[in-house]
Structure 1
């Protein structure tokens, strides 16, 4: 049938089709007196036989229903039906309905004093009119001129709304929700699909009659100088209101604000500069800017949001045991009066869907999400765009026009107080730790507010944690050197195979809000209009404020951490040489961590699982993360085969909660006994590195008081012994308490091993020999080697982000200085002094291994750097 319809529509040049759709209610009970009123309207002529046949053919597939009252017309006036766009199928549908309702036929020609038209339809946007909707269509122009020429002539104008696929009783169908049309114009295949499949879920709304003479009179009283254009825009407004009442407002930025952005002074200036720089015509550069905008902007769709609501509800029940949400009441309280900016950590592609789903189900408007262009692949990209995503390139470098267009789009979001969401880490964490914040989106948000404040801005740090992730194996491979694969449908299909697996519970916690106004006050930053042009300190203050805000976001994400059963189990088992423990020891170690977390709560927002240790073991076994090996002397609990690298991810999610307790344990366990002043000295020296790596919330000045509390708890637990006279010691070597101390000390030792390896590399190579990039890449290669020699194969030892963070901290603390010309790292004897403190934590064998590994000659360095530049895995 759709083939025949396509043939009919293809032949007709003056029967036209709308580009919107949705569903309907029944209109079997139309007023019987409406026909009596309409029979008096003598039709000026009958539709051609071809048009009648076309409408009859359409009626075989389409059974529309009518919403609202049938308009009552003045029979002395010619009647025209106003439709949004040039269209064939919709105009045939209007013609069919006008005949059925005994209204003047939309398909018939109209002959009236001063008016002669081939059909009774006015299209506000005609595809033959290249100027688009902002220019009057020829028929409307002729009608306006006829009325101006003869003041006694008036015309009935009836705005008509047609929607396909919006029957309320069909909204439970995922497929129908996805294909339902709202505001966007469908392609020809999509419109044929609407007719053939959704034709019986169509409704038509005839609005109240508008007098053209009245519209002309009102338009003359206005400020517009194009009379017909002003009338067209008012008619469009009537249709928009009618459609909004049925399907909700049009929130698509592509349709609503593209013109506003391209005509802004900032973008116009950038277009002129680009034209001057390239020598290209202004018109060509404008097209280029419009292309960038189409690439960036969201295309919000109510039907796609409803589709995601149904689909994700189905998906979560198959993937997860549940989604636990904490502290959402904070967001609800702030939403009415603030510009909300969600800044979550980034663990998985699921994050995009999860956060929007939680917000939507709790009754708040879902945010516009900044997504990487890698996700803008066919079909998926449009679905995400329909769900509120806008896309950004990984780098704006060298493209000032794109940068300007993108920043102006962000500014429009801020001006409309649209909730926003972006992942401040820039990309997904491959190690489970938070990555250093990327300041791009944060700076754009802040600068937009300073340029033109709208609502007060509040950032909502958001912690997301999983108990299994779909990308786990991919993350481990990438950390080991496997090139990152670009997102594509093959990868998505591979991921879809995992839908029937069990991934435990998802945890979503909304952290303590951060108010931009507070940071502006702290750093003495004012809005652009309040800042004198000659204030040289303003830029420096602004940069310092943004940097501090980025760090505080990361710290508040960590404060909202959830110590879930899997992360706690991973922390215990991966701290043992063979990732295995006697069951009784394992249970007691889990209980110890729980008691430490309760006695030393990291933050009021931090949540620790209330499962018992036995329940945690059972839970881990259910997720197939651990195995139990029966033994006469007691069962052994070990990490399941190939799960250790994956579990390290979840351990790292909560490492910050226990790192200082682990560090104290490591100092005592390695030395057997240590004086308190020496412990404090080493802690003060090493804490800034731990703080930077794990975004610890405690300021260095408050560490001594925190150290007192930690040591008191560890002493009460019996894992550290107070020997008196300011000396701390370890328990007896063969005691259970000593075994607990060894396990507790392990996580901090792993961090210090990385630090020492980087320091040893710099020391062995000498000052002003390596650039920061070379140092990081060499540490990555060395870390791979140590991981294999050490036989743990955990990716932590060769995570480039951690080495980058360590080198940056050395520079920030002035231990190394980067040469402005050569970019090499210069340093003095203090580097060796820091490295000497490693002997208080690391065993001699490990220190010797790290020193030996770091002793590379020039040929080895050249080989390593060459292989790294090829982005291939370094093969041992």
Structure 2
């Protein structure tokens, strides 16, 4: 047995040594015993203070709660950075509310001589040795080393009284600081009273103490190598379970001194690690201090990179250095954010109200992968852009989940009176829509981006450049990605990671505007007037909105793939161009971001309903058949997911139909032979937008269905060959992630999926056939085959135009413009007048894919397109998918004589000139 005084000395003395030198006097023992027999916060104080604090403070929980096994015997301790009675009580209240192990109840384990008054560890404790080492952490480390079966978990906790990243010398922050130490009662009461309603608590993932100790002892660092063995020696030779005489033997006692010193160093390192962890968590929640806008502008203008840019500007333009600096400062003032925490709080309350008015809910998916990266990475959010409210919604979700709000690159058209200052104070830094040829502006923007990145500020930008009017992703604009890469190659700080983010709506406020623009009306720029128009629709029902954070893309992985070395650009220059490898890397990053956005798609009830009904004749189906088709789409999407990140609605088919009726997008027509579900009047064009959000998920299945349905039966080898030839164009249009080299395997899996659902039948000799013509499976196959038709019709019409006009007669821009006009005409005359069919961006994507794959060549001097018979070879495949009637219509529409082409090109040029004049 261990004498009682040794138990107290070993586990309760406020010293770091796990053994106290027996030469110390007895008075010290009395002081130590008195100190730790008295609870720092007794139960009565805890109860009364808790009740008072519960009234004054309404904390918001950030992040996910740690999960503990109810039968787990592990001891739980909460780790806070600074000693604070109020923080202790606050954590205790939270543990009670969420049924976690209590924080202010004593922790006792007699088998291992653990007897602590509370389950909170303060890393900076006034009773610690030199106020540096935590007594409780020291005792727990000692116990863990002495008892291999002892299990202790540490749960780091962050508490923020407000979330303003103010400067350290701010008087306001000094008054608001949560580092309350006796006897600063006034400061404590002030903080509770003022910030009690703006308090945030986050419980971080639990860490096993023994694992942390092991990692610290054997992390390979020279600092630890010298004493790791000593600590282990202590663990094996000086356990309190050994005979008591060992503790009275002078030789043994002196042999343990090095181990005691080693354990002191171990506690210091553990405490340092926990401090760094909590500091990083705090930084990820608050962000860096960029509050002093004037100083930041001055630092930008007088940085070595901008000094060089100013010198270049004076040489190029002949103005004085002072004038050039004044121009540069003007540019900086145009763009630099002016972070204001009061404005953030206003936005928080306003947006909380707004989302409850607009949406039934905001569903967030895969956010934890962002939280895991935020502490050690420079986060670049790259969402798709579908609505005016995208950036507000994304920033709101990030803020509410406890991470720092990203700085959003916004067009300077939003920098208008009233709105501009609010956005600048909350999330936005403004950049011009076009600044090509303005070297000094480019230099200032690059240096500002570099400053944000090196200060570890999360950033957000929309690489599509503008809002998608069709619901498909737009081709990426690579300027901001190039600036991000440029910054990282100038100076590597935190590793950069891109977070592709999918945003999906069930109704969209700008729907009517988008349809008009696709039909030829001038595009409405993002402006205050546009936002005010949106605001008039607040009373309408918009369903749910979905945010899904895609798989992260690490810049370092791309640098390794393209052999781009770190720090390969001079740190003091902004004008060093990216070399060919880095430029190719930027292109690849852009494509991968778009692919990962689509991989994170949410197949919500409205998009699924849109896909089903718009594929049916006259956009109407018998209700029972509609339910079956919805269930089929859900089944095939779940059996073979487009991606692990793709989310499929779990709403039942009947509930999906009822939901669409509630949103007034579809309607039920009663009929004695069975109710009919049809698209509501004037809603078909709008529903095509939501169908296009998820078209990529089902497009290959639709292509396979179309090949089988149009031909009746087809050999697998023929099917593979046709899909392989046309797949690159679908991949370019819809940013499909399936690699071309593994396409055959992907097609085989999808064919097996269709076979399992009875959509197709496999005959002998690898021949695929349609099911019985009178079966429900045949009707389902026909509906599934429809979505791919529009894409193939566009391709064939473009190829027909090129073939009829001949090689070397049209430029790429003329081909796109003529196809856009032909698409409009075809849609009105023969189709359902759904405007996304003739979206100019889709024809541009197809022509660019033809150029990239070398089916088309562009003459350098004239820009005219040349080609050979391979164009006819691609068009040849259309007969396997399109009906003869549709092919004839497309041929007729594409047959333009020279006079018609000349007239069309002249009119298009005049229209563009008028548009350019309005912009200027």
The CA distance in 2 between the partners of 1:519 and 1:377, in whole Å, is 39
Asked whether the 8 Å contact 1:525–1:538 carries over to 2, the reply is no
2:642 corresponds to 1:608: no
The answer for the alignment partner of 1:506 in structure 2 is 545
Give the equivalent residue in structure 2 for 1:724: 764
Residue 288 of structure 1 and its aligned partner are, at CA, apart by 1.2
Match of 2:858 in 1: 818
Residues 22-71 of structure 1 deviation map (CA, whole Å, 9 limit, x = unaligned):
xxxxxxxxxxxxxxxxxxxxxxxxxxxxxxxxxxxxxxxxxxxxxxxxxx
Match of 2:753 among 713, 717, 726: 713
> Is the 2:489–2:569 Cα contact (8 Å) retained in structure 1?
no
Quick check: 772-781 or 713-722, which moved more?
A: 713-722
**In 2, Cα distance between the equivalents of 1:403 and 1:395?**
10
For residues 842 and 831 of structure 2, the distance between their equivalents in structure 1, rounded to whole angstroms, comes to: 20
Match of 1:339 in 2: 378
**Distance in 2 of aligned mates of 1:253 and 1:499:** 36
**Residues matched between the structures, number:** 637
Which of the numbers 431, 434, 439 marks the counterpart of 1:395? 434
Structure 2 counterpart of 1:487, from 526, 542, 550: 526
Following superposition, the deviation at residue 743 of structure 1 comes to 0.6
Alignment of 1:198-597 (within 5 A): 251-252=290-291, 254-529=293-568, 539-597=579-637
Aligned mates of 1:248, 1:810 — CA distance in 2? 45
Moved more, 788-797 or 558-567: 788-797
SS at match of 2:618: coil
Cα distance, 1:738 vs structure 2? 1.4
Q: CA deviation at 1:250?
A: 5.8
Kept in 1, the 8 Å contact 2:287–2:456? The answer is: no
- Which of 654, 657, 677 is 2:694 aligned to? 654
Deviation by residue 1:71-104 (Cα, 9 ceiling, x = unmatched): xxxxxxxxxxxxxxxxxxxxxxxxxxxxxxxxxx
* Displacement of 1:859: 2.2
**Contact 1:374-1:487 within 8 A present in 2 as well:** yes
**Aligned in 2, Cα 1:286/1:666: closer, same or farther, shift over 3 Å?**
same
CA distance in 1, matches of 2:602, 2:333: 39
Decide whether the 8 Å contact of 2:803 with 2:871 is kept in 1.
Answer: yes
Distance 2:322 2:349 in 1: 44
**Aligned-residue RMSD, C-alpha:** 2.6
Distance 1:483 1:385 in 2: 28
* Contact map agreement 1:483 1:872 (CA 8 A) in 2: no
Cα gap change, 1:615 to 1:530, in 2 (>3 Å): same
Counterpart Cα distance in 2 of 1:815 and 1:561: 32
Partner residue of 1:697 out of 737, 760, 763 = 737
How many Å apart are 1:845 and its aligned residue? Answer: 1.0
Q: Deviations over 1:302-328 (max 9, x none)?
A: 011000110010001010000011111
Q: Any conservation in 1 of the 2:287–2:405 contact (CA below 8 Å)?
A: no
Q: Deviations over 1:186-208 (max 9, x none)?
A: xxxxxxxxxxxxxxxxxxxxxxx
Secondary structure of 2:786's counterpart equals helix
1:169–1:261 Cα change, 3 Å: closer
The superposition leaves residues 510-561 of structure 1 with CA deviations (integer Å, 9 ceiling, x where unpaired) of: 111111111111111102448999xx99811111111111111111111111
The secondary structure found in structure 2 opposite 1:642 is coil
Question: 2: CA distance between counterparts of 1:774 and 1:248?
Answer: 48
Whether 2:769 is the aligned partner of 1:738: answer: no
1:768 pairs, out of 793, 805, 808, with 808
In the alignment, the residues of structure 2 paired with residue 330 and residue 169 of structure 1 have an alpha-carbon distance, to the nearest angstrom, of 30
Q: Which residue of 2 aligns with 1:850?
A: 890
Secondary structure of residue in 1 paired with 2:703? helix
C-alpha contact (below 8 Å) 1:324/1:508 kept by paired residues:
yes
* Structure 1 stretch displaced more, 426-435 or 264-273: 264-273
Q: Does the residue aligned with 2:726 lie in a helix, a strand or coil?
A: helix
Determine the structure 1 residue equivalent to 2:667: 627
Return closer, same or farther for 1:541/1:402 CA change in 2, 3 Å cut-off: same
Give the structure 1 partner of residue 125 of structure 2. none
- SS of 2:538's partner is coil
Q: Note if contact 1:481-1:873 (Cα within 8 Å) is conserved in structure 2.
A: no
- Answer yes or no: is the 8 Å Cα contact 2:685–2:834 preserved in 1: yes
Aligned-pair CA distance for 1:284: 1.9
C-alpha distance after superposition, 1:746-795 (max 9, x if no partner): 01111101111111111111111111111111111111011111231112
TM-score (ref. length: structure 1): 0.70
Aligned equivalents of 1:494 and 1:340: distance in 2? 33
User: Structure 1 residues 519 and 249, CA, compared in 2 at 3 Å: closer, same or farther?
Assistant: closer
Residues 617/688 of structure 1: CA separation in 2 closer, same or farther (3 Å cut): same
Take 1:276 and 1:408, find their aligned partners in 2: how far apart are those partners? 20
- Structure 1's 537 and 868: CA in aligned 2 closer, same or farther, altered over 3 A? closer
Unaligned runs of 5+ in 2: 1-191, 199-285, 915-920
Residue 867 to residue 576, structure 1, CA distance change in 2 (3 Å): farther
Cα distance in 2 for residues equivalent to 1:522 and 1:872: 41
CA 1:471 to 1:623, structure 2 compared with 1: closer, same or farther past 3 Å? same
Deviation, structure 1 residue 715? 1.5
Q: 1:482 to 1:871 in 2, by over 3 A?
A: farther
Q: Distance in 2 between matches of 1:469 and 1:336?
A: 34
Does the 8 A contact of 1:714 with 1:720 survive in 2? Answer: yes
- CA drift of 1:167 comes to 8.9
Distance 1:296 1:590, change over 3 A: same
Tell me the distance in 1 between the aligned counterparts of 2:723 and 2:634: 24
CA contact (8 A) 1:480 1:873 kept: no
Q: What is residue 639 of structure 1 aligned with on the other side?
A: 679
Contact 1:253-1:298 at 8 Å conserved across structures: no
Match of 2:230 in 1: none
CA, structure 1 residues 573+861, in 2 after alignment: closer, same or farther (shift >3 Å)? same
Q: Is 1:777 the counterpart of 2:817 in the alignment?
A: yes
Contact 2:661/2:667 (<8 A) preserved:
yes
- The Cα offsets for residues 243-262 of structure 1, whole Å up to 9 and x where unpaired, read as xxxx9986336323111111
Kindly indicate whether the alpha-carbon contact (under 8 Å) linking 1:569 and 1:617 is maintained by their aligned counterparts in 2: yes
Shift of 1:869: 2.9
Query: In 2, are the aligned partners of 1:815 and 1:831 still within 8 Å (CA)?
Result: yes
Aligned residues of 2:290 and 2:296 also touching (Cα < 8 A): no
